Amino acid sequence: MSNHETWTLSSDRLFSPEPSQRAVARALFERVAQLPIVSPHGHVDPSLFSDPEARFGSPADLLIIPDHYVFRMLYSQGLPLEDLGVRRRDGGQVETDHRKIWQRFADHFYLFRGTPSGLWLKHELISVFGVKLPLNSRNAQVIYDQIEDCLRRPEFRPRALFERFRIEVLCTTDAASDPLNHHRAIRASGWNGDIRPTFRPDSVTDILRPDWRQQLEALAHAADMDIISFGSFLEALRRRRAAFRQLGATATDHGVTLPHTEVLSSADAEAIFQRALRGVATPEDGVRFSGHMLIEMARMSLEDGMVMQIHAGVYRNHNPLLWERFGPDKGADIPLPCDFVRGLKPLLDLYGNERNLTIVLFTMDETTYARELAPLAGHYPALRLGPPWWFHDSFNGMRRYFDQVMETAGLYNTAGFNDDTRAFPSIPARHDVWRRASCNWLAGLVVRGLVTEEEAAEMAVDMAVGLARKTYRLEKNI
């Protein structure tokens, strides 16, 4: 912890310590380390790119205040979110001195030992910002200075980093009602970064949301039509999908509490929709409607060719005190057990055999990897498995995924990698972890005599970029 200690990233990090496997992993990694980044799903704010002059703010703005992976860990150890500058809904006082926030973060950086957030942050600080001292209490302010200095320079503007990171394509996630002005501005600007929206209609398909009516009005406004019936609701969604596609979207995304699907008759769907409009929908209505909307979305995907992503199994906002005080996305979303076998059956009965439809499944219930998801994806033509999601987007999370999914589903029924992040400068770190974990897994197959090095090299490229391009229909860019 002395000041003359240098902070370094091992060039062999994450690889097996066993020399024969490490050598193969390193050789495979060398083939993929410099490939461009394909990012088919994530939450980066497109406004970072619509204005060529956009900046990231302070180091705390960049790395702490918006990142629930980071502040949830500090909160779990007793640091109030107010002390980390997280905005309160009631406008109550929170820390505004970003150097103090940064110091608190540095004082507790040891909490991230052995965590993916710790690894991403270290990677980012060293390779994006050139930090050379370990982040700790003593070095906090000098590192703050260094990052702040970087962030003032033009080569640290979002567009410059996008190019430096060699991002081939970046897909954002956007509400169905989003007018997509930032996406339009990016295209209009003549800058050639390939940034695409993703159609996410959750706020209008969940009729139980307290703000559903406002969301519906926003949708109607964006679609430039009245929504007075289930039929007109579907038409509005269809129009918005078309608008998204015109701006390059190739995918939709659906975040659901549980992977429930259900076919409603037109009459039932209309009746529930009308109850929702009158504010009298029941919880059961909400579950049924949401289940039916996945069916409708699949049907539209068959029509318009958009890849359908389902992110299932999260208890959102588990902590009501935090929710009241700070709102959503504050580290209090907890995974739930999922039943894909029965839950998706109505959807798969209708569309599981469609070869022109792609449904990508994500879960944090790892018990379904080997029991449900791999057997389903290893059978139904329409299914692909998304990479490890959220908490499991880590070295061990990836290892468990490879272990439990690949033998049954086969690599070619998986969808490559998603970084799924809102923390733009962490993107290279996240793809680096995936590529290293992939190459290490493949090296394990090679040294156990299961695939040849030549096969592994092809598979490594597929895992790094090929499967993501193919699954998300982004191959036209090559």
The footprint of a copy of itself on residues 87-126 (CB under 8 A) is 110-116, 118-119
Task: Tell me the number of residues near a copy of itself by CB under 8 A.
Answer: 93
Nearer to a copy of itself, 113 or 152 (CB): 113
Nearer to a copy of itself, 100 or 470 (CB): 470
Structure tokens at 222: 């964006």
Distance CA(247)–CA(180), nearest Å, equals 8
Interacting positions 33-72 with a copy of itself (CB under 8 A): 72
Interacting positions 250-279 with a copy of itself (CB under 8 A): none
Question: Which residues make beta-bridge pairs with 361?
Answer: 310, 385
Residue 150 is given by DSSP the state H
Establish if 9 lies at the interface with a copy of itself (CB under 8 A): yes
Nearer to a copy of itself, 110 or 166 (CB): 110
| Binding-site member from 337, 475, 477, 478 for a copy of itself (CB under 8 A) | 337
Residue 153 Cβ vs a copy of itself, minimum distance, rounded to whole Å: 29
Nearer to a copy of itself, 156 or 340 (CB): 340
Residue 447 Cβ vs a copy of itself, minimum distance, rounded to whole Å: 4
Alpha carbons within 13 A on the beta-carbon side of 208: 12
Establish if 1 lies at the interface with a copy of itself (CB under 8 A): yes
56 neighbors 158 (Cβ within 8 angstroms): yes
165 neighbors 141 (Cβ within 8 angstroms): no
DSSP 301-361: HHHH--EEEEEE-EE----HHHHHHH-S-SS--EE----HHHHTHHHHHHHTT-TT--EEE
Distance CA(346)–CA(255), nearest Å, equals 18
Establish if 26 lies at the interface with a copy of itself (CB under 8 A): no
Establish if 177 lies at the interface with a copy of itself (CB under 8 A): no
Nearer to a copy of itself, 149 or 324 (CB): 324
| Binding-site member from 95, 148, 202, 366 for a copy of itself (CB under 8 A) | 366
| Cβ count within 10 A of residue 311 | 24
Binding segment toward a copy of itself, per CB under 8 A, in 145-153, 279-287, 298-306, 454-462: 454-462
Establish if 392 lies at the interface with a copy of itself (CB under 8 A): yes
Residue 185 Cβ vs a copy of itself, minimum distance, rounded to whole Å: 37
Binding segment toward a copy of itself, per CB under 8 A, in 13-21, 49-57, 284-292, 465-473: 13-21
Residue 414 is given by DSSP the state B
Distance CA(262)–CA(347), nearest Å, equals 7
> x/- binding map, residues 341-360, to a copy of itself, per CB under 8 A?
xx--x--xx--xx-x-----
Q: Which amino acid is at 403?
A: D
Binding segment toward a copy of itself, per CB under 8 A, in 178-186, 189-197, 218-226, 312-320: 312-320
387 neighbors 417 (Cβ within 8 angstroms): yes
- Among candidates 187, 195, 205, which has minimal Cα distance to 158? 195
Nearer to a copy of itself, 156 or 434 (CB): 434
| Binding-site member from 391, 422, 453, 473 for a copy of itself (CB under 8 A) | 391
| Cβ count within 10 A of residue 103 | 16
Residue 351 Cβ vs a copy of itself, minimum distance, rounded to whole Å: 10
Buried-exposed string 326-346: b where 16+ CB fall within 10 A, e elsewhere: beeebbbbebbebbbeebbeb
| Binding-site member from 359, 377, 415, 460 for a copy of itself (CB under 8 A) | 377
